[in-house]
Amino acid sequence: MTLRRDDSLAAYLYSYRDKDGGRQDLLWAFRLVAGGVGCRRVLYPGSYVHITPSLVFPEVCYVDSVKGVGAALAAPALAEYVDGHKDYCGDAVIRCWEGDYRGFGGEPAGSFDLLISLNAGFISQHCGHFLKPGGFLLVNNEHYDAARAWVDSRYQLVAALEDGALNPADALSGNSTWFRTAKGEVLTLAMVESDAERPPSKARFRLAREAEAYLFRLDSGVRGDDGDGLMAGA
């Protein structure tokens, strides 16, 4: 797949802003996170042309392996769209690295306030080392990454985002229905790994309840890696 620079704004609007009334775009979720925890510097691996975080956060680094994505995200039409729709004053800082995020090394470790993981695999494990201690992970469970973060002791669940609201962690204890199967089993690493190669429709351990996204915090006493860029236990 090759993305043409001149098609980037149309591809973005079609894939995110115009689809399902913009619900899949998650602009509302980014705004809740910005208002709730005040992140500024953001890393978004597996982004494609989903430029929406730049409407909310002043500095975003995008990573994707689609050919031409770097030039597409630098297109003047997309920059003009961001400038005309962003929530903050000042210029948007947008960078894009074209390549597989599993081998990404273009930014310093421990330098981002927020890591975004949406539909692109175990980003919480491969890119966690880019988070500052105490930094945040915004993640959905389409590719089981929210479940993977849940079973990783380095991440602590802060909130679930659903129905346009941010539900805080005091309502999300281990005794709640979050990250439990329909049989009431609390999700484990073995369960997550057994489903990792399966599409969600064929998962062995389906969650009884799922939010549209989740917010985790990286333990403030650690950086999110084990020395080689992969979260411990991955």
CB contact at 8 A, 83 and 60: no
pLDDT of residue 91: 92
Domain assignment present for residue 92? The answer is: yes
pLDDT in tens, the chain (234 residues): 555 556 788 888 888 876 655 566 899 999 999 998 889 999 999 999 899 999 999 999 999 998 888 888 988 999 999 999 999 999 999 999 998 999 888 889 899 999 999 988 899 999 999 999 999 999 998 888 998 999 898 999 998 888 888 887 654 554 456 788 888 888 888 888 877 778 777 777 888 788 889 999 998 765 555 433 333 333
Residue 103 lies in a domain: yes
Instruction: Please check whether residue 200 lies inside any domain of the structure.
Output: no
- CATH code, domain carrying 117: 3.40.50.150
Q: pLDDT tens for residues 23-61?
A: 668 999 999 999 988 899 999 999 998 999 999 999 999
In a domain, 230, yes or no: no
Residue 100 domain flag: yes
pTM: 0.87
How high is the pLDDT of residue 1?
A: 53
Beta strands in 28-154 (DSSP E): 41-45, 59-64, 93-98, 112-117, 131-139
Considering the domain boundaries, does residue 188 fall inside one? no
Q: Is residue 36 part of a domain?
A: yes
| 201 domain residue, yes or no | no
Quote the pLDDT of residue 31. 93
Enclosing domain of residue 155:
5-169+214-218
CB 67 within 8 A of CB 138: no
Count structural domains, the chain: 1
Exposed / middle / buried, residue 119 (Cβ in 10 Å: 0-12, 13-18, 19+): middle
Task: Dihedral sign for Cα 189, 192, 25, 67, please.
Answer: positive
- Say what the pLDDT of residue 60 is: 96
